[in-house]
Each structure stands twice: as structure tokens, then as C-alpha cells.
Structure 1
Amino acid sequence: MSTLLISIVLSIVGGVLFTLIGLISGSDETATMVPFTLLVILLGAPPVAVFSFFMAAVISKHLSHAAPTALMGIPGDTMMVPMLDYAETLRKLGVPHIALRKMISGGIIGALIAFPVALLFAQFLGQFADFFETYTGVIFAVAAVIIAYFSKGKWVSVLLIIPFAFLIQGLNLVSFEVLDKNLSISFFLGIAIGPMFSDILIALSSTARKSVTRAEPQDYNLAPEIKSWSGYFPNPFRILTGLQKVAGSIAAFITSFTFTFSPTGMTALMGELIGSKIKGTYKKATTTLSVMNGVTESTYIAETLIPLIAFGLPLSPMALGPAAALFNAPPVFSVDHNLHHLMSMGDFFVYGLIGLIVGAFIAYPFIMNFSRKATVFIMKCISQEAIIGMFIGIVCVIAYYEGQVTGLLVTFTIATVGGLLNRILGVGSGAQFMIYYGSSWMMAVLIGL
């Protein structure tokens, strides 16, 4: 089978899979994208096909995650949290279906703008790649402090950088003694599933369970679907007003350069900045939602492409989270041998575009036509516990593949500590990933390990 055909097939798989995953409320991007991307890599897919798969996953996930947010008021994932208030406003007005259409149409525009802009900006920054490669350890350590400071935990996140780095290197030393090799996948799988795994631990704890116990099931009221277009493929440019298209385009263009900032933070910032200039409840809410969801696409695309193409190092929150496997997936990829080294600029453009187009053609019309029916089906028939169990099972397979029982122990040790640090103290996954990458340099400097 040709590389091009494999790329198209994997794009379809990624588009279908993550369109469905996005419909499941609370499906964290890192916990879902990292295991599946790793699985594709370890199964031996060509590098360009891996990239196509990932780009299809990004756009489809960030289109379908708008459905539970707009229709039920439950965040599809962490990127949806800034949009809840505006989505609630439109639900009270009786037009949640309008909110959803505006959101995912804005997402299409954000993706179309961010992709070429990020490619060009990455090519420009590539001139400084030698500097970044020379001072990798220092850069990771400094970046860990910055990202930790801007996470929810703020100063406690900064304070815990060294202890968490010590834990990582201690576990790495033990695993090397047992296996005669360093583990990598097991560590960032543990960080990726940490928040999800901590929820399981809290539910199992007799003392902590009270915080997640509900006395009765929550009711959701879904508005009927009203179709305002003919055929199966609606035109996103006709769904948005002129103001919404211009505002979304400007926001997507600006955020395509801010690859070192938090995607959630940029989503909230750009949405509030543009929304503050608009009068009228309906007009303000629909415009802000279209802009915000466009920014979720632009930040995720830019924060993947720029560090991957320019440096080959995970120097963005996105690269340290959902896109981590593109930078480091031993024994296939490492920070010295990944897509940055294996793909040309032409490859990034062609195969990235394949992934985006295929993902958009799968997710956009499906959500526009069947979002209500799909949401009802998932709420009634798909167990949240079963989904979590599926992800934990995939993680177990991959961790065992890398380090057998030792890999499993490392993964769930990191998941336990990292997850509780995230949920209780606000030490975000992005900060934990950066600490992981900088931990060897930190421990070498501090204790000569």
C-alpha cells in the first residue's frame, strides 16, 4: 500500500475516531490523543501517515467537542471551559443548536488560517534551531518554571518542580537497573492519564468520595434540531455573519504566532477581547463562541506545527500534551530523531493538509446534521466508565510493550502522583511534561545524577 493511501486511510480512522470521542463529555485531549497516536506509531505507520492521522484527530476532536458544550452545558474537554457561560446564555434563549453551528463553523475558519500561517512562521523560526538544540536542558528547565507559574497552582507548581523531577529520575534509575534501558513512553503516558486516573482513585477513597458523589442524576434538556441548509454538506462561510468571519480570522491569525502560551488561556483572552466590543446578548454570545472555538483550532495546530517543524523539540503546551508522541515515542521517535528530522516542509504541508481536509469532511457535516441524535445516543447508551476503562486498557498495553511490569508500575506511579498534583494542587499536565523533559538536566546540575 502506498504511503499516500496509508495516510488517507489513517486520516479517515483519526477523523471518525476522534469525532466520536469528542462527543463524550470530559474526554481530555492529552489522555485520548497520546495513547492513540502512540499506538499508530508503534504499529509501524510511516511518519507522514502518523502526521496525517494526528492532524485529522485534532480538527475532528475540536469540532465535535462543541456538541456536549453547546447542547448540554458540559465541557467536551478542558478547552471548552471558557465557553460555558456563553453557551449557557444561548441555551436559555432556546437556541443551543445555533451556538453549536457557530462554534464549529468558527473552528473550520480557525484551522484554515492557522495551518499556512504556522507553517510559514515555523520556517522562519527554523533559523534559530541550533541555538535551541544547544541549550535544550536549560530551555526545558526555564520553560518548566514559566509554565508552572502560569498553571492553576502557581507557586506550589513552581515549588514542586524539583521534587517531581527527582521522582521521575529516581523511577528512571530503578527501571534502568531492572531493564537495562531507560523508559520514556511509560512516563508521559502516566502524566497523560493522571487527571483521569486520579478521578478513579478519588471515587475509590472512602474519605474523598464525598466530593464526587451525586445524590441524583442530572437532567439535560436538548432543543430540537432545525436544519437551515440543503444537502449533507453545509457551507461554514454561510453559517457565520460577516463580523464573525472577520473577528474569527483575526483571532486565528494572531494566535497562530503565540505558540508558547496556554491554548485555554488564549481562547479565553481572544474571546473576551472581541466579545467586549459587541453589543446585544445574542450577537455577543454567538460571535464570542465562534471566535473561541476558532482559537481552539488555531492554537492546537500552531502549537503542534511550530515547535515540530522549527526545532523538533516540544516547546509548547500542546507539544508537551496531546502532541507529545510526535516528538518522543521510543524506540521509533526521540527528541533527536522525530518528524522534524524525517519530514520535509513539503511533507508537512501535503500530509498535514490531507489530515485536516479529511478530518473536517468527516466531523463538520456529521456534527451539523446529527449532533443531537449522537449526543442523545452517547448519553443513554455509552458508559463513561467503559470509555475510561478503554483508555486505561490501551495505556496498559503500550506501557507493557515498553517495559513489561516495570513499565506498568512506572506509568501508574506517575499517574497517581501527577494526577493528584493536578487535581488537588493545580500542577497542570503541561508543567509536568516540561519537568519530565528537563528532569535529567536538573538532577545532573543539582546532585550530579
Structure 2
Amino acid sequence: MMDGFIVSDLLWAVGMAVAGGVIFSGVGLISGTDETSTIAPLTLLIVLLGVPPVAIFSWFMAAAISKHMIHAIPTALMGVPGDTMAVPMLEDASVLRKLGVPHMALRKMISGGIIAAFLALPISVGFASLLAPFADIVKAWAPVVFTVAAIIIAYTSGGKWASLFSLIPFAFFVQGLNKMAIASIGHGVFISMFLGIAIGPMFADLMTILFPGSRHLLQRNQSREFWLAPELKTWNGYFPNPFKILSKHQFWYNALTAGVSALTFTFSPVGMTVMMGEFVGARIKGLYQRMTTTLAVMNGTTEATYIAETIIPLLAFGIPLSPVGLGPAAPLFNAPPVFTAQPVHNLHNYLTPVDYLVYGYIGLVVAFLIAYPFSMNYARKASAWVLKHVSQEAIVSMFAGLIVVISYFEAGTVGIAIAVTIAVFGGILNRYFGVHTGVQYMVYYASPWLMLTLLGIK
């Protein structure tokens, strides 16, 4: 019989998973809502509020999985990316929309995603457990590892030469701001800088609109029109069976790519999504079969890579050695004063491999029960309601307000000023030079060692 403490943890985990599943099923419907600027701030908030560690993990799993299932709705039905992870799927989804079967694209994407998530969780936990004995070596060399990883991620990104060129200037910039914070309030800041990088692309768009010379880049003369296909239900009841939505070949392709993706944690999630899609697409001849299979595989890869890039560095090392760990999952590693990455004191210290499985599956199952049937049954109605009644600007403003509150909590007006400064500078690097947020986060973690080694600045 379980004691009260364990029962309490389970209740917390289920409750937070339900909250994450419901909130991010709604957020996923709104196109362009980036994972880092939405999942990360709310995760940071619940960490700072003192939610039990196991419940924080269940929350994150439910939030990430729900968002990546629901982001298929605007991607498949409206031709706009639900978030950055959905961008590689736009082309195939557009072809199926022109063929008049966007509902089939949607069903394949969502079913592929949930099956991949169930497969990826135990594989990632198992692989992380194999890497755990090398944790002390990795931690000892963490500053060097961060620097090397920053160079690798920068070189493999879309704006590789700009990313490589900006490594040292950006490291100098963030360390300069940190020294200013220490001089002003007596201690350095992490939360404000982290949130500033997260909202950078949003601030870059804002600066673009405010400047008359560049306003035309984002200005629109008329509202966009969307044509939503009618819903065609081919199953009985409220819960469709994802194994019946995918064909046998699609299931095995999905299982194979999910298994491979669940072993990776240093590659770009978007890059993995593209690579797996191309790998499968090259092996299927028929247009419809190729497009639907590729979409199922790519959406499955988004789920598998997010799970792997969260669990593997968290369980094995306790430091964020992955693009997801540096972005949406960063508060699981570093949320001072509750969690820290250097020294390691975060979920790595609180959860065992069995905990990752149990509480990870709590988040996954809750997301499946909430987001999967909702997206399969009400995708069109939900999309129409969002288009008519929900302002994307209002959602962005809500998260911007949350970021201001959390930055003020850490360092008062100095925290807000640093968050905005980082957002403007980092956002411009992101939007106009291709230096994406993963590179910026990695440079931030490597910056103390870089400045000490190159310039002797402590």
C-alpha cells in the first residue's frame, strides 16, 4: 500500500499534467506560438511557486506533447505553422490540402505523434541510464562541452557563418550585462537573460514594425483568408484508435524513426524532423501514401526528439546539453534559487529512472486523453473559433506580461531592463542573421569560460 507522501506526489503529478494538457492544447491552436516563449515561462513559474519536482516533470511532458499534437491543426488545415517545429511539415500538408484531404493529413500527423511519444519515453530513459556513469566526466568538462556544442550547433544552423561570428561578441555581451547586474543588485541574473532570449524573435518583430523603414516587411493590407475542409469522421465514439488511423507500413516507419530520434539529444529538433521525413519519403513512391507517411513520421519525430532532448541530459548529466534543454525545458535544469545547473541541483537530483518513466507516462497519458480525442474530433470547429475570436497579439501580450513579472521577481527593474535588452539584441540576431535561440542559449552557458579563457575576465 502506498504511503501518503507517494499518493500526494501522484495527485500533484496528475493535477499538473491535466493543467499542462488543457493549457497547451489551447495554445497549440494559435499559430506562431513558439515553444520556448510559451512553455518555458509557465514552467519557470511553477518551479518558482514550489510545485513538487515529480509534478513539474509531469507538467512539462503533458504540456510539450499536447502542444505538438495540437500544432498539427493550424499546420494541416490552415497552412500556417503551429510553431517552429511544424515548419518542415508545411509543404507536404499544403499538397494534401490542395488534394482536398487535409483531414487525413491531420489524422496521420496526430496519430504518428502520440504513438512515437509512447515509444520514445522508455528508450530515452534507458539510453540516459547507460550514459549516467559518465556524468562526472561530463560535469567536470561542462564549460568546454558547452563551448564545443555551441560551435557545432552554430555551424549546423541555417545562419551558420553569422552564428559562428557572433559567438564571442554575444558571450561578451551577456557577461557584460551580468557584471552590470552584480554591480547594481549584488548578484548575477539567469531568469531575466533566459526569458530575454526566449522572447527575442517577438521583440525583433516589434522593432521592425516600429521603424517606418522596415515596417513594410510585416505590414499586411488585408486579412488572410482560410478555407477549412469539412470534418469527416470515420470512427465510432469519442476516442479513435491511433493504430487504426495509421497503416501497418506507416506504423513501422513511425516506430523506426521514433526509436532513432529517442537516442539523440544534441541535434536540432527541426533538423531531425527534416532528416527523418526525407529518409522515409525517399522510400515511398505513391504521392498520397508518401505525403501522409512523411507527415506521420515528422510529427512523431517532433515528439520523440522533445522527449529525448529533455530526459537524456536531465537524467544522465543534470546540465542542458541539448537545444530543447536550452530552450523550452531550461527551467527543469536552471531556475534559481530552486534549481541550478552549476552546481547541479535540479530534477537530476530528485528523480530516479523509474520516476522518469512513471511520472513521464502520467504526463503522456494525460496529454493523450485530453489532446488526442479533442484534435481528432473538433479540429475544424476549434480552428474556426480561434480564427474568429482569439487575437494572436493578445496571447503574445499575455506571455510578455508574464515575462515582465518573472524578471521583476528575480531582479526588479534591473531584471526587466536586462530581459528587454537581451530580447532586442538576440531577436535581431535571430530574425535577420539566422542565429537561432539554441545557439544563443548555448553561448550564454559557455560565456563565463570563454571570457575567462580568452580575456581573463572572471
Q: TM-score, normalised by structure 2?
A: 0.97
Partner Cα distance (2:52, 2:262) in 1: 27
**Alpha-carbon deviation of 1:3?**
1.9
Kindly, what percent of the aligned residue pairs are identical? 56
**Alignment-derived partner of residue 134 in structure 2:** 128
Structure 2 residue 397 is matched with structure 1 residue 386: no
Structure 2 residue 29 is matched with structure 1 residue 28: no
Instruction: Describe the SS at the equivalent of 1:2.
Output: helix
Instruction: Describe the SS at the equivalent of 2:325.
Output: coil
What aligned pairs does 1:162-241 form with structure 2 within 5 A after superposition? 162-241=168-247
Structure 2 residue 314 is matched with structure 1 residue 308: yes
Structure 2 residue 451 is matched with structure 1 residue 446: no
Partner Cα distance (1:278, 1:67) in 2: 25
Structure 2 residue 362 is matched with structure 1 residue 350: no
**Alpha-carbon deviation of 1:76?**
0.4
Can you list the C-alpha shifts for 1:271-323, whole angstroms capped at 9, x where unaligned? 11111111111111111100110000000001100000000010011111111
Partner Cα distance (1:281, 1:267) in 2: 19
Can you list the C-alpha shifts for 1:169-189, whole angstroms capped at 9, x where unaligned? 000001011111111111110
**Alpha-carbon deviation of 1:71?**
0.0
AA partner of residue 422 (structure 1): N
User: Aligned pair count?
Assistant: 449
Can you list the C-alpha shifts for 1:373-399, whole angstroms capped at 9, x where unaligned? 111111110011101100100000100
AA partner of residue 409 (structure 1): A
Q: What is the aligned counterpart of 1:7 among 8, 13, 18?
A: 13
Partner Cα distance (2:254, 2:272) in 1: 13
Partner Cα distance (1:170, 1:398) in 2: 21
What aligned pairs does 1:31-430 form with structure 2 within 5 A after superposition? 31-335=37-341, 336-430=344-438
Partner Cα distance (2:353, 2:265) in 1: 19
Partner Cα distance (1:6, 1:342) in 2: 15
**Alpha-carbon deviation of 1:341?**
1.0
**Alpha-carbon deviation of 1:102?**
0.4
Instruction: Describe the SS at the equivalent of 1:318.
Output: helix
**Alpha-carbon deviation of 1:49?**
0.6
Can you list the C-alpha shifts for 1:387-444, whole angstroms capped at 9, x where unaligned? 1100100000100000000000010100110011000000010000000001011111
Instruction: Describe the SS at the equivalent of 2:54.
Output: helix
**Alpha-carbon deviation of 1:97?**
0.7
AA partner of residue 338 (structure 1): N
Task: List runs of 5+ in structure 1 lacking aligned partners.
Answer: none
**Alpha-carbon deviation of 1:72?**
0.5
AA partner of residue 416 (structure 1): V
Partner Cα distance (2:245, 2:353) in 1: 33
Runs of 4+ aligned residues of structure 1 deviating over 6 Å after TM superposition are none
AA partner of residue 203 (structure 1): I
Partner Cα distance (1:200, 1:356) in 2: 36
**Alignment-derived partner of residue 3 in structure 2:** none
Can you list the C-alpha shifts for 1:109-129, whole angstroms capped at 9, x where unaligned? 110111000000000011110
**Alpha-carbon deviation of 1:258?**
1.7
AA partner of residue 229 (structure 1): W
**Alpha-carbon deviation of 1:4?**
1.4
Partner Cα distance (1:189, 1:203) in 2: 21
Task: List runs of 5+ in structure 2 lacking aligned partners.
Answer: 1-6
**Alignment-derived partner of residue 4 in structure 2:** none
Partner Cα distance (2:133, 2:161) in 1: 34
**Alpha-carbon deviation of 1:266?**
0.8
Structure 2 residue 447 is matched with structure 1 residue 436: no
**Alpha-carbon deviation of 1:36?**
0.6
**Alpha-carbon deviation of 1:150?**
1.2
Partner Cα distance (1:17, 1:199) in 2: 25
Partner Cα distance (1:275, 1:51) in 2: 34
AA partner of residue 175 (structure 2): Q
**Alpha-carbon deviation of 1:95?**
0.7
**Alpha-carbon deviation of 1:214?**
1.3
AA partner of residue 194 (structure 2): F
Deviates more, 1:207-216 or 1:245-254: 207-216
**Alpha-carbon deviation of 1:338?**
0.5
Q: TM-score, normalised by structure 1?
A: 0.99
AA partner of residue 379 (structure 1): L
Instruction: Describe the SS at the equivalent of 1:44.
Output: coil
**Alpha-carbon deviation of 1:265?**
0.6
